[in-house]
Amino acid sequence: MNSPLRHPIAPELLARFAKIVGDKYAVTDQAALEPQLIEGRGLYHGRTPMMLRPGNVNEVAAILKLATETGTPLVPQGGNTGLVGGQIPHDGEIIVSTTRLDKIREVDATSNTMTVESGVVLAKIQEAAAAADRLFPLSLGAEGSCTIGGNLSTNAGGTSAVAYGITRDLVIGLEVALPDGRIWNGLSKLKKDNTGYDLKNLFVGAEGTLGIITAATLKLFPRPRAVETAFAGIPSPRAALGLLNLARERAGGSVTSFELISRGVLDMALRHAHGVRDPLANVHPWYVLMELSSQSREGLRATLEDVLSSAAERSFVTDATIAASLDQAKAFWHLRFMLTESQKPEGGSIKHDISVPVAAVADFIADATKVCEAMVPGCRVVPFGHLGDGNIHFNVSQPIGADTAGFLAGWGAMNAEVDKVVMKYHGSFSAEHGIGKLKRETLKKVKDPVALEMMRAFKRTLDPKNILNPGKML
Ligand code: FAD
Ligand code: 2HG
Ligand code: ZN
């Protein structure tokens, strides 16, 4: 039986919120709400009396104003693909969904900017950029359903950060509705604008705790004229670091993705993901999915071949294949993007979204593997991720046949031990997924106390009634 809600909201108040968006966009039917209450990993199942779907920034601002006046808690939600429970109403909060804020307001190919509303799905942004012969480089497995507002609010990383940076690096301006109902119009196309504090960076990565992002001006890049994609079998993470350095020496900024994949997680994709085939004939303990991009139509294939043959001479690479067609390149990426989903049928999976300095990745993986295998004999350590950024998804699946609940009960204990290894290498316990509900206690323990106090001060200033995403991050 459900425990009583900490935030029961009176029916008359719900009606006042519904009036702002109109009854059609104030969803109360519990069956319709159900998909918005569960996050992808099945770790959390929330509860809400209502989901509001505002259609413009003024409606968002009016919702926030009423929430502050009445002390009503709200949870912003975009595509509901976040991996730390930040978008889930855990205790009866109202969901504010951004999915109707779905307009691309402008593509300015000369200024290399695009202004979009926050509910636009990432894949649509990529498509709109390509239609203007430009590139919006942010790319991740959830791109078909996550929204740019969610990407900004989690400061998502993804598979192109090695060359283009994280979401924070891809935004120039923001429009944000504040908890008191004011609208900050910080939309701007200016690269240079030294007129005070960089406020937009306060909202990027704030996970919906300071304001609701309603629109953003994003950076566009030239669309590459040549893209080459290789899938390489490699002996070890250390060899992958050798390959990364070699690729950068020979191809410089053309290295636009560099993803490490363990055989264990590749096997899971082969077992469970539709349409995934092993790109190489033989089995290798590790793999690298590497992409090079260039503005020049000629010569990129030769550069990639040179990198791979030099890497083979140095024993960094055992075998490799270069995509012969766009479809083959897409197949490599399909394999990569199915890794998250493919861990689920294997039972319990304890996650660590960590980063360490790139040079320390191999040592981190070796040490953390020993730690986990000693804690849970038979567990399957299946790391993968964005090696070029030092960001590894150090995920651990339960021993075959083990009791899932029993294994998952050790989540906190395993996180704590792995985090000690992360700290040994001066890394981060949350590289790209954020804090949300999942990592809130760890944040309190490990974040610099002065930084935590500044964070709390910003929160108090902007959201004194703590109506926005209470119980998340701080
Ligand atoms: P939601 O899940 O709806 O929300 C995420 C957080 O942002 C919540 O705290 C929410 O309250 C807040 N929020 C959402 N919209 C707004 C807004 N407009 N204003 C204020 N707050 C808001 N992440 C990476 O960094 N790199 C990856 O490679 C990556 N790959 C993924 C692959 C898969 C298969 C999946 C399921 C997830 C992956 N993620 C990855 C997680 C990533 O955080 C999300 O996919 C994405 O950034 C969240 O967008 P969303 O629209 O789904 O946000
Ligand atoms: C990715 O890089 C995501 O695919 C998800 O960040 C990682 O499944 C995960 O833990
Ligand atoms: Zn990732």
Query: Tell me, what's the pLDDT at 109?
Result: 98
Kindly give the distance from the C-alpha atom of residue 146 to the centroid of ligand 1, in angstroms, as a whole number.
6
Per-residue pLDDT tens for 289-324? 999 999 999 999 999 999 999 999 999 999 999 999
Q: Is the pTM of this model over 0.95?
A: yes
Residue 380, strand partner residues? 397
Q: Is the dihedral of CA 439, 440, 444, 445 positive or negative?
A: negative
Query: Tell me, what's the pLDDT at 7?
Result: 73
Residues with CB under 6 A from ligand 2: 141, 339-340, 351, 385, 393, 395
Closest CA to ligand 2's atom 10: 393
Query: Tell me, what's the pLDDT at 310?
Result: 98
Query: Tell me, what's the pLDDT at 42?
Result: 84
Instruction: Report helix angle 11-21 to 57-70, nearest 10.
Output: 160
Atom of ligand 2 nearest to the CA of 157: 6
Instruction: Report helix angle 237-251 to 361-375, nearest 10.
Output: 160
Query: Tell me, what's the pLDDT at 2?
Result: 65
Instruction: Confirm or reject: Cβ of 432 under 6 Å from ligand 1.
Output: yes
Secondary structure (3-state) at 385: strand
444, amino acid identity: K
Closest CA to ligand 1's atom 47: 151
Instruction: Confirm or reject: Cβ of 142 under 6 Å from ligand 1.
Output: yes
Atom of ligand 1 nearest to the CA of 431: 25
- Closest ligand to C-alpha of residue 102 is 1
pLDDT values of the chain reduced to their tens digit, one per residue, 474 residues: 467 777 789 999 999 999 999 999 999 999 999 999 999 888 899 999 999 999 999 999 999 999 999 999 999 999 999 999 999 999 999 999 999 999 999 999 999 999 999 999 999 999 999 999 999 999 999 999 999 999 999 999 999 999 999 999 999 999 999 999 999 999 999 999 999 999 999 999 999 999 999 999 999 999 999 999 999 999 999 999 999 999 999 999 999 999 999 999 999 999 999 999 999 999 999 999 999 999 999 999 999 999 999 999 999 999 999 999 999 999 999 999 999 999 999 999 999 999 999 999 999 999 999 999 999 999 999 999 999 999 999 999 999 999 999 999 999 999 999 999 999 999 999 999 999 999 999 999 999 999 999 999 999 999 999 999 999 999
Full 3-state SS string of 400-458: CCCCHHHHHCCHHHHHHHHHHHHHHCCCECCCCCCCCCCCHHHHHHHCCHHHHHHHHHH
